[in-house]
Amino acid sequence: MKARIIDVGKYVPNLSISNEDFTKIMDTNNEWIVQRTGISSRHFSEINTSEMAYQAVLNLLENTKFNKEDIEIIIVCTCTPDAYSPSVANLVKKKLKLSKDIPSFDINAACSGFIYGLKVVQGLIESGLYQNIILVGSENLSKLLNFDDRSTAVLFGDGAGAILVQGSNQGIIDTLIYNKDDINGAINIPNGINIETPFTNNQCSGPAHIQMKGQDVFKFATKVCINMLKEIVVKNNLTFNDIKCIIPHQANLRIIEYAIKMLGINKDKFVITLESLGNTSSASIPIALDSIKKELKKGDKLIFVAFGGGLTYGVSLLEW
Amino acid sequence: MKEKIKGIIKDILDIEESDIKDDALIVDDLGADSIAVMEIVMEIEDEFDVEIDTETIPNFKTINDIVAYLEK
């Protein structure tokens, strides 16, 4: 039994913020941003992560005509939850008003979250435990941006993507997930809630903002992206000629272009959506998948590859 | 070594090798942005089989700086 992606849905907020909009609030310009990132605009959400996830699931259910009562488990990948508890997945389930108490939970592997989620889904289906799983990547990153930091504020956008995964005779072939220690503190969303009790030596921390060391991220991301793509095709006795398309995590065009150059693969094989969406973390791969699903035929082989805070990284090879 | 480094910089920045003077500032004179600098460093790592800590990179103002680092 394999885990097959049946269909995908998405939610992208209406509010589009252009590079020009950023020039009104900070010292930057369109050329600077486009040259370093490939990003021209991104969407910011006025609704939180769980509502975006819910909207993506509704879009998925509409696309598939799948009966929501047949969902057996809901998993949401996110590093930007509404709250510590309940989880985003709990909130999505509540919004769906299901008649049964099916399990739901979140996975946090930052921008690699969707690949980690696929690995869990793959295991749950291949083991025979579940047959109908909803996996969502949903992120409201704009709430974690430091609008005084021009190097990170322009990179991220909000959005959500959801997939229905069912047991089938074809589907996910192989998924590899890893975690490398972030020695240099390349990607962080530090702080959160302070320790403040009457009994402890309290240390107040600052606001929770995304912090990145761009050069460390570039080095990590390109190396693992190149190595994982090579690893998964070799491990499965394939070549890149056998792959219809590769969907990389949409972090930065320069990362993707460097990987393409070093791998010698035709750029047309890579799905790139970041120009108008920015980096939507764990939502970037399902949103990109949604953009090309009509071009896919049964049996096409795809690769998803992602890297992110943690430092997490992962790759998944599947048959459509 | 210096010629190999110049070759790497020429390819990444897509400029003429004759424009790459030993004491040219890689960022200010040759037009490399921070990601291009990282690309140069990564290619140097592969070419010379060394690991360069990113904390060191701000010291690489010119090709002479890189050569001095590699010769240490």
Q: pLDDT tens for residues A188-239?
A: 888 777 778 888 887 777 778 888 998 999 999 999 999 999 999 999 999 9
Whether the predicted pLDDT of A51 surpasses 90: yes
A249 noted as active-site residue: yes
Q: What is the pLDDT of residue A171?
A: 97
Residue A85 buriedness (CB in 10 A; 0-12 / 13-18 / 19+): exposed
Is B18 at the interface with chain A, CB within 8 A? no
Q: What is the pLDDT of residue A286?
A: 98
Q: What is the pLDDT of residue B21?
A: 84
- Tokens 């990607």, residue located: A187
Residues of B within 8 A of A218 (CB-CB) are 35, 38-39
A142-170 confidence digits (pLDDT tens): 999 999 999 899 999 999 999 999 999 99
Q: What is the pLDDT of residue A226?
A: 97
Q: What percent of chain B has pLDDT over 70?
A: 100
Is B37 at the interface with chain A, CB within 8 A? yes
Q: What is the pLDDT of residue A121?
A: 98
Is B27 at the interface with chain A, CB within 8 A? no
**Is the Cβ–Cβ distance between A82 and A123 less than 8 Å?**
no
Listed by number, the residues of chain A in 209-228 with a beta carbon closer than 8 Å to a beta carbon of chain B are 213-216, 218-219, 222
Whether the predicted pLDDT of A133 surpasses 80: yes
Is B35 at the interface with chain A, CB within 8 A? yes
Minimal C-alpha gap between A311 and chain B (Å): 16
A237-282 confidence digits (pLDDT tens): 999 999 999 999 999 999 999 999 999 999 999 999 999 999 999 9
**Is the Cβ–Cβ distance between A304 and A320 less than 8 Å?**
no
pLDDT bucket at A303, cuts 50 / 70 / 90:
very high
**Is the Cβ–Cβ distance between B10 and B20 less than 8 Å?**
yes
Residues of B within 8 A of A214 (CB-CB) are 34-35, 38
Count other Cβ atoms within 10 Å, centred on residue A275: 15
Q: What is the pLDDT of residue B29?
A: 86
Count other Cβ atoms within 10 Å, centred on residue A99: 7
**Is the Cβ–Cβ distance between A133 and A124 less than 8 Å?**
yes
**Is the Cβ–Cβ distance between A306 and A314 less than 8 Å?**
yes
pLDDT, chain A, mean: 95
Q: What is the pLDDT of residue A17?
A: 97
CB contact under 8 A, B57 and A222: no
> What is the ipTM score, two decimals?
0.84
Q: Distance between CA atoms of A125 and A247, rounded to whole angstroms?
A: 23
pLDDT bucket at B72, cuts 50 / 70 / 90:
confident
Minimal C-alpha gap between A221 and chain B (Å): 12
pLDDT bucket at A179, cuts 50 / 70 / 90:
very high
Is B57 at the interface with chain A, CB within 8 A? yes
- Tokens 């990132």, residue located: A37
Residues of A within 8 A of B38 (CB-CB) are 214-215, 218-219
Look at residue B60 and give its three-state secondary structure.
coil
Across A65-85, average pLDDT = 96
Residues of A within 8 A of B37 (CB-CB) are 215
Residue bearing the bigger pLDDT, B57 or A3: A3
pLDDT bucket at B37, cuts 50 / 70 / 90:
very high
How many beta-carbon pairs under 8 angstroms link A with B?
28
B33 noted as active-site residue: yes
Q: Distance between CA atoms of A43 and A51, rounded to whole angstroms?
A: 15
CATH H superfamily, domain B2-71: ACP-like (1.10.1200.10)
Q: What is the pLDDT of residue B31?
A: 86
**Which position among B33, B49, B53, B65 bears the catalytic label?**
B33
pLDDT, chain B, mean: 88
Q: Which parts of chain B fold into alpha helices (H)?
A: 2-13, 34-48, 63-71
Q: What is the pLDDT of residue B24?
A: 84
A17-28 confidence digits (pLDDT tens): 999 999 999 999
**Which position among A43, A77, A108, A111 bears the catalytic label?**
A111
CB contact under 8 A, A35 and B54: no
Whether the predicted pLDDT of A119 surpasses 90: yes
A111 noted as active-site residue: yes
CB contact under 8 A, A215 and B39: no
**Which position among A48, A79, A90, A249 bears the catalytic label?**
A249
Q: Is the model's pTM score more than 0.90?
A: yes
A50: Cβ contacts below 8 Å, ≥ 6 apart = A76, A81, A82, A88, A91, A92, A95, A138
Look at residue B57 and give its three-state secondary structure.
helix
CB contact under 8 A, B54 and A254: no
Residues of A within 8 A of B39 (CB-CB) are 218, 258
Alpha-carbon distances, residue A313 vs A4, A115, A121, A302, B53 (angstroms): 22, 8, 17, 17, 21
Measured over all CA atoms, what is the biggest interatomic distance in chain B, rounded to whole angstroms? Answer: 30
Across A9-14, average pLDDT = 98
Count other Cβ atoms within 10 Å, centred on residue B17: 11
**Is the Cβ–Cβ distance between A6 and A134 less than 8 Å?**
no
CB contact under 8 A, A219 and B33: no
CB contact under 8 A, B37 and A258: no
Q: Distance between CA atoms of A302 and A88, rounded to whole angstroms?
A: 28
